[in-house]
Amino acid sequence: MTVILAVCVAVTVAVAMYLLLSRELKGIAMGVFLIGHSANLVILAMSRSPVITTAEGSKSLKLPPILGYGEDAADPLSNMVDPLPQALILTAIVISFGVMGFLLALIVVTGRVTGTLDLEDFDDNPEGVDPERQAFSARWNAPIPDPTLNNPHPSARASGRPEEIATP
């Protein structure tokens, strides 16, 4: 079982590294996703074996980590699966979903602004960028106008809030 997990971790890490070194943002995102899953497999491989081997050589699976299953009061984990790796993996899965959502949102915005997801197209030459995308990028990066600049009342200019205009 441990050998199979080690092979799975090695293959997953190798594929993740290949994707992380690619020149396209989708591949990099998939590499980040796979490296997270390979870390989960490493945590699972580091937990103890779920198989109990008796002195006679018979094998049985350990019990789920539920109170009342432990027959030995001094060492209740002797015949139960360790719940800590499972809790860590569950937490890591939730966090990786959040990170992947944020990463995919960044990729979508980058694709809309630049018109491509290939890193080789992200050069300093603006002639290669679609004019419509270039205009969108200019509007996106334009400074936000100050609403107090055109307000004639001095107290509104002093406070910086246009709604504080004194009525006569």
DSSP per-residue codes, 101-128: HHHHHHHHHHHHHHS--BGGG-SS-GGG
Q: Mind listing the pLDDT tens digit for each residue in 33-69?
A: 999 999 998 988 888 777 777 778 888 888 777 766 6
Which pTM value belongs to this model? 0.60
Residues of 134-156 as b/e, b for ≥16 C-beta within 10 angstroms?
Answer: beebeeeeeeeeeeeeebeeeeb
pLDDT bucket at 86, cuts 50 / 70 / 90: confident
Q: At what angle do helices 2-20 and 25-46 cross, to 10 degrees?
A: 160
**Alpha-carbon span 9 to 24, nearest angstrom:** 24
